């Protein structure tokens, strides 16, 4: 298990969590300084705004098969889990702000929190009522993003003395594996399925291109599709369906994609009338959560 707590640039409070989480392209007429950012749930045919009565609109980051959603709400510092309309919140003991980013079928949650004024913080895992801090002496920054039903956790680590981020896979027995995609300057693990397949994205050595990967049984596989100039994998279901961002060639926008690794089918989708559709999570029922950026 990770051990010591150190500084991390954590921007999960409010809408900044999605805008800082990944790269996407906006149209020439857009206003990136003040975009309309809307959380959504997509069922394969219809988009619904993510609005919780009594709390308001939020940014959903993960969803399990029960429909339990972890989300971030503006101007709120608690971690949120929304289940069938019921809202539960928690904070990390001693923390000043909490952002839940991933959830598994058993309701275990991973995310990030601040433990001092400003952006000093780290990551956590919540299993039942127990909350554990995730840190490692080899990492200056730890960002936990995903968790599967075996409580294996994935995320990213910035090693001390370098800015070359690597992914990590932390198993329940405490064993830790660092992940670096071949030829990558930075690797970000974002989701893990029930078989231990890890998905995420990476940057090339010159930082000019971004690619996506699936890692399983010690082997990296690059994910691409001719419909997209670049892909950014963000999550995966237990059925092996990968969700993420697709940058469309010759079109200044970003849309969502679902890649079924079992059937090898590839589908794209986008919220109507928007500049960017940014999915973050998918469950076995095909429900997708994420954010769209309006014009």
* DSSP 8-class letter at 251: S
d(CA 191, CA 87): 24
Sign of CA dihedral 117, 121, 127, 132: negative
Q: How far apart are CA 17 and CA 20, in angstroms?
A: 6
As a whole number of angstroms, the distance between CA 150 and CA 104 comes to 9
pLDDT score at 150: 96
Rounded CA gap, 295 and 293, in Å? 7
CB–CB of 281/289 below 8 Å?
yes
Check residue 261 and report its DSSP letter.
T
Q: Give the whole-angstrom CA distance, residue 151 versus residue 130.
A: 13
Could you count the other beta carbons within 10 Å of the beta carbon of residue 219? 7
pLDDT at 221: 96
CA angle in degrees (0–180, nearest 5) for 184-122-279: 60
Q: Which residue has the tokens 């070359």?
A: 164
> Which uninterrupted H or E stretch holds 202?
strand 198-204
Q: List the pLDDT tens digit at each of the 295 positions of the chain.
A: 443 333 332 333 333 333 334 444 444 444 445 678 999 999 999 999 999 998 999 999 999 999 999 999 988 889 999 998 799 999 999 888 899 999 999 999 999 998 765 555 689 999 999 999 998 888 888 999 999 999 999 999 988 888 789 999 999 888 899 999 999 999 999 999 999 999 999 998 877 788 999 999 999 999 999 999 999 999 999 999 999 999 999 888 899 999 999 999 999 999 999 999 999 999 999 999 999 998 6
Instruction: Give the residue ranges of DSSP H helices in 97-240.
Output: none
Query: Distance (Å, rounded) from C-alpha 221 to C-alpha 214?
Result: 5
Q: Which positions ≥6 away from 216 have C-beta within 8 Å?
A: 195, 196, 197, 198
Q: What are the domain boundaries of the chain?
A: 16-294
Please give the CATH number for the structural domain made up of 16-294. Answer: 2.120.10.30
Using the 8-state DSSP alphabet, how is residue 209 labeled? -
The token pair at 110 is 């991973």
Residue-level pLDDT at 33: 54
Bridge partners (DSSP) listed for residue 202: 187, 211
The angle formed by the CA atoms of residues 261, 266 and 271, to the nearest 5 degrees, is: 125
The answer to whether 144 touches 110, Cβ cutoff 8 Å, is: yes
């Amino acid at each position: 298990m990770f051990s010591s707590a150190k500084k991390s640039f954590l921007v999960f409070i409010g809408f900044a969590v999605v805008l800082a989480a990944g790269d996407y392209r906006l149209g020439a007429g857009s206003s990136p300084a003040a975009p309309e950012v809307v959380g959504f749930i997509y069922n394969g045919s219809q988009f619904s705004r993510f609005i919780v009565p009594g709390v308001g609109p939020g940014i959903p980051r993960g969803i399990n098969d029960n429909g339990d959603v972890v989300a971030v709400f503006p101007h709120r510092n608690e971690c949120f889990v929304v289940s069938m309309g019921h809202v539960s919140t928690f904070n990390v003991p001693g923390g000043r702000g909490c952002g839940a980013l991933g959830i598994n079928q058993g309701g275990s949650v991973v995310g990030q929190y601040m433990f001092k004024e400003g952006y000093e913080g780290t990551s956590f895992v919540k299993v039942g009522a127990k909350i554990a801090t995730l840190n490692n002496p080899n990492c200056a920054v730890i960002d936990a993003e995903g968790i599967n039903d075996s409580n294996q956790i994935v995320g990213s680590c910035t090693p001390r003395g370098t800015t070359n981020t690597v992914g990590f896979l932390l198993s329940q027995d405490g064993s830790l594996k660092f992940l670096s995609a071949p030829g990558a300057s930075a690797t970000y693990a974002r989701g893990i399925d029930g078989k231990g397949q890890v998905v995420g994205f990476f940057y090339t050595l010159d930082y000019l291109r971004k690619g996506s990967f699936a890692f399983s049984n010690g082997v990296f596989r690059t994910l691409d599709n001719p419909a997209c100039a670049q892909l950014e994998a963000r999550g995966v279901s237990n059925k092996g369906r990968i969700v993420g961002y697709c940058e469309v060639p010759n079109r200044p926008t970003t849309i969502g994609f679902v890649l079924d690794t079992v059937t090898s089918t590839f589908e794209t989708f986008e919220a109507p009338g928007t500049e960017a559709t940014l999915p973050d999570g998918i469950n076995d029922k095909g429900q997708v959560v994420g954010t769209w950026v309006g014009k």
